[in-house]
Amino acid sequence: MYRLVELAGLDDNLYKGQRENGQRSGLGIQIFPNGYFYYGMWKNNMANGRGKLLYTDGTYYQGTYENNSIVKGGLFFWNGRRFEGDFYGGPNEFFRSGRFFFRDGDVFDGKWNNFGSCTEGRLLARSGEVLKFEKQKKLIKYDDQARSLGKIIVNDIIYEGGIKNSLRHGFGCIYSTFQHYNQSFFIKDCYNGFAIGNRISFGETCEGNIYNDKIVHIWKRMTVRGYEIIGNVKENKYHIKFPFLNDDHFIGDIAIDWTWNQNHHMVNFKAGKYFIRTEESDFHEIEVRDISSIDEIPEVAKRGLEFEAVFGRLKSYYKIKGAFQINEALEKALDKTTTVLDEKKVNLIDMGREVFFRGCKVNDQKEGYCQIEFESGEKYSGFFKSDKKEGPGQLVKSNSDVYLGEFSNNVLEGNAVVYSDNKGVFLIEFQSGSIHSNIMMKFNNSELIYIGEIDNFKFRGKGKLVYRDEFEISAAFVNDEIEESSLCQIKLKDLEPFEAFFLKVNKRSNMAVFETADKRYLFVDMLKGKWSWVNF
């Protein structure tokens, strides 16, 4: 909470509770602009004593605070994982010593230095096996016989998910002692696919697509100051809303650094239009240029913030998300009672189509993050709204194919990653649950990318094979193979693209032969992309 207070400040208008000599002292609630709130004890205008800091995704801290920093207690993640123990406190609030609990019953018991790196520990498997952690080395524990799922613990990172050749590979989540988590699809330790990140101690969240560790396309970020920014990372024009503060919005050019660095919270409004809600419930348009905060807009500063209005928006949001049922507890707290906020989760087993459910329900409808298993063997984990899949989620089919992306009204919408042990990994664009574009990407052992047309998950039509070292083959494909005797365009590193006829491929060795117009022959390993010229 230390960094959160440092960056967002403590707005007096967003505090409700006891005071002493004008300062926060005793029991009180502090709302932050990004929708987070702290409920607990205060002293000398700082969080001191027992308290709970709740995040909009359902993650929360609960324990003992000293001068705005947690020193003992737990960090409870939205998906059921948690850390319980001691924290260093101070600006970074790193793990000090304690236990990290995985959902499957495994527990890591460890100690960390004041830089966040693990110095000693052991993983206590639910089977009774004990694995010792060695400093600056990877501790890897596989959870399945195929050795494709498991856990990796190294330095400041606790990882759970897909593994290949001792690297993060497949769907997984990184939990860091620097108090952040990143959930995504990985290929050879690199982010590839839709990602969700929460820099917990700094109060910022983001989500969007990543390709080889580089963010691409449309991203959404909620800053510590309550600015929800949506736009293409390659452009300067964005749409900004303030969901926990007001109904205003901004459209225009901004300066923002999408990387996680010391300036991650900085947003400069370069030029655009700010639409402010008036008392008549319509919008007044204001020209904005070169400001770093909406408080620099006189009309916004004059209007200010009211606790009850922001609190009402917050209650509505948490009710919709369903992560916590906070209305009753918070309203009692407003009456200066000492009611503690309790997490409301519903666990049940239904012997109908759904055979397992873990998550939240409001008025008997699924809300917020839930996990479901079906009689067919399919599994879904993700967000719901009014009993329908809505937001980021993961669907595992009975054949083990994994669909990872954004759901809307129960079906996939937009770009999604599809992972199959047999077929590889695809990036697909969906519209209303159906494949909207047949232009896809397929990753094969991280050596080969296919970009082109497909039919029933097979290369069919125009496409391009992209290998390492700037080697590309553009061709016509039939049933995953280049059409025989077809004319292809080939690009080799440092050479101009040229045309060549595809002659044949040896399916046992995967070696293909291409003939140029001047009777030169190019031999290519179609899996690894290695090539050589041969003259006859």
Residues 474 and 424 in one domain: no
Q: Is residue 87 part of a domain?
A: no
Tell me which of 305, 338, 372 is where a domain ends: 305
Residues 256 and 226 in one domain: yes
Residues 431 and 501 in one domain: no
Q: Is residue 63 part of a domain?
A: no
Q: Is residue 428 part of a domain?
A: yes
Q: Is residue 78 part of a domain?
A: no
Tell me which of 385, 412, 442 is where a domain ends: 442
Is 25 within 8 Å of 42 (Cβ atoms)?
yes
Give Cα 265 to chain centroid, integer Å: 18
Q: Is residue 375 part of a domain?
A: yes
Residues 530 and 506 in one domain: yes
Tally of CB atoms within 10 A around 337: 11
Residues 465 and 433 in one domain: no
Residues 436 and 359 in one domain: yes
Using 50 as the pLDDT threshold, list the residues of the chain that sit under it.
262, 320-352, 444, 446
Q: Is residue 134 part of a domain?
A: no
Q: Is residue 202 part of a domain?
A: no
pLDDT for 195 equals 85
What is the CATH classification number for the domain harbouring 408? 2.20.110
Residues 255 and 291 in one domain: yes
Q: Residue length, the chain?
A: 536
Residues 415 and 360 in one domain: yes
Q: Is residue 514 part of a domain?
A: yes
pLDDT for 181 equals 85
Give the pLDDT confidence of 403-445 residue by residue, as tens digits: 878 888 888 887 777 776 666 667 777 877 777 655 556 554 5
Identify the CA nearest to 14 among candidates 341, 356, 307, 386.
Answer: 307
- Expressed as residue numbers, the domain containing 288 is 214-305
pLDDT for 18 equals 86
Q: What is the pTM of this model?
A: 0.61
Residues 351 and 437 in one domain: yes
Give the pLDDT confidence of 340-362 residue by residue, as tens digits: 323 222 222 222 367 677 777 77
Q: Which residues contact 506 (CB under 8 A, 6 or more apart)?
A: 512
Map residue 441 onto helix, strand or coil: strand
Which 8-state DSSP code applies to residue 225? Answer: T
pLDDT for 441 equals 61
pLDDT for 104 equals 82
Residues 428 and 364 in one domain: yes
Residues 430 and 471 in one domain: no
Tell me which of 418, 442, 466 is where a domain ends: 442
Arithmetic mean of pLDDT over the chain: 81
Which 8-state DSSP code applies to residue 13? Answer: G
Q: How many structural domains does the chain have? A: 3
Which 8-state DSSP code applies to residue 105? Answer: S
